Structure 1
Amino acid sequence: VCGYEPQGREFESLRARQLKQDVPDILLFDALRISYLDADMRHRRLPMTKVQYAFIALALAAAACSPPAPETTQPETAASSVLEDASAVASAAAPSVTITSGEFNTRGDQYEVTGTLPNGDEIEIDMVQSNGAWTAIEIQRDVAWSSVPELVRATAAAAPDLFEPVRVIESTQVADGSIVYELFRAAEDGIPSRGPDMEVRWHEGSAEVVPR
């Protein structure tokens, strides 16, 4: 009996020390478990209510009824790009010209660049394209019949079908520098006919009627 009490006290003392060591671990485990349960509850997906279904249905209906976005159309760039490519060639053919516009002719086989000269005359530079490169073939402008070289007028007057032209187009051929004068007679209503009624070629001091 005498030895029992000290032994019991020693046992209780050891048990007490063990509990003191285990308490922090138990508290830490409980804290982690509570934190996990709290996070699980916060991130758990709850089933959708009827109100949520109604909002989704309304959103889908509004999207279906919304008008489509307006289609954007690309600007027409073919003519401007051709004019840009051809302008350098046109300027080389007529160095003093100020280019104002350009368009394809009605047949679509030539590009016509329009510009003005320093004296105010309007000219047209006809161009063709081959293998991606532009070539100027002729430069045209309206001139007065009285300004045409005298030999050209005499040659036209000697032709069997004599007439006084109401319109004269001076067409300079870029290839050789010759000039073809296109002569238009007056139609019944007094305006020039659609096509030239006679052409006279002037080159290196000589003139001849172009065969038709």
Structure 2
Amino acid sequence: MKHALFAIAAAAVLGACSPAQEDKADTAPTALPPGPETQISDVSPADLPPALTALIQQTVPGMTVAEVERKEREGRVYYDVEGARPDGSEVELDIQQTGDRFEVVEIQRDVAFADMPQAVQTTARAATGAFAPERIIESRQMDGSVIYELFAVGQPAEPAMEVRVRDGKAEVLTERWPH
């Protein structure tokens, strides 16, 4: 009986990483075109404008800011603010600047493939050029949708695939998400 239970458990684990999925890991993903050129500069958390610091604390009360990058692309300015919540969990805020105004456009965290909603897992596995991601970022948008950015092994600069969940439906994006 123990051997039968072990065999069933082993089959379930192996099913999560089917040979078809493993084969796809060797295939270079081609779903998204390259992103726009981005100019990046580091910013000291102490040098942030007071309005930006206030927005960070309003969005994630008690957040400890560890690192800030200012990014400029396609005429838009963003601040990527990385840090930790009071419970120690990592969080990143993507904040867009328009004139003197700041707006949170994404709240991000790293997640494991198994922690994504089942619909996202199924959609990603079924996509052309599917692969086993090395890193996944969950980006909660302010419009209620969630973007899952899947990074291929050895390609840490840009996601190789993005899956959006909106109104409970998952879809692979064919164009890079603007934020």
Give the Cα separation in 1 of the matches to 2:119 and 2:62. 28
**Residue of structure 1 in register with 2:147 after alignment:** 180
Cα distance, 1:78 vs. partner?
Answer: 8.3
| Equivalent residue number for residue 156 of structure 2 | 193
Q: Which stretches in structure 1 are left out of the alignment for 5+ residues?
A: 1-76
Q: Which residue of 2 aligns with 1:169?
A: 137
Amino acid paired to 2:58: A
Paired residues of 2:45 and 2:67 also in contact (CA < 8 A): no
Amino acid at match of 1:202: V
- The answer to whether the aligner puts 1:206 opposite 2:130 as a matched pair is no
Shift of 1:201: 0.5
Shift of 1:146: 1.1
Runs of at least 4 residues of structure 1 off by over 6 A? Answer: none
Q: What residue identity is the alignment partner of 1:179?
A: V
Distance 1:113 1:177 in 2: 20
Q: RMSD over aligned Cα, in angstroms?
A: 2.4
Q: Distance in 2 between matches of 1:96 and 1:143?
A: 22
Instruction: Label 1:143 to 1:119 Cα distance change in 2 as closer, same or farther (>3 A).
Output: farther
Tell me the amino acid that sits aligned with residue 173 of structure 1.
Q
Q: Contact between 1:83 and 1:102, CA under 8 Å: does it hold in 2?
A: no
> What do residues 90-147 of structure 1 show as CA deviations (whole Å, max 9, x unaligned)?
2233346333443313758211222212442211111122231111111111111111
Give TM-score scaled by structure 1 length. 0.54
**SS state at 1:140 partner:** strand
Matched, 1:144 2:107: no
Using CA pairs below 8 Å that are at least 6 residues apart, which structure has the higher relative contact order? 2
User: In proportion to residue count, which structure has more helix?
Assistant: 1
**Correspondence for 2:70:** 104
Structure 2 residue ranges without an equivalent (≥5)? 1-42
| 1:86 Cα offset (Å) | 0.5
Inter-CA distance 94–210: structure 2 relative to 1 (3 Å threshold): farther
What is the alpha-carbon distance in structure 1 between the residues aligned to residue 51 and residue 68 of structure 2?
11
Q: 1-side partners of 2:116 and 2:139: how far apart?
A: 12
Distance of 1:123 and 1:195 partners within structure 2: 19
**Could you state the TM-score of these two structures normalised by the residue count of structure 2?**
0.64
Task: Compare CA radii of gyration and give the structure with the larger one.
Answer: 1
Q: Deviations over 1:141-196 (max 9, x none)?
A: 1111111111100001111111111100111112x121100001113xxxx43210
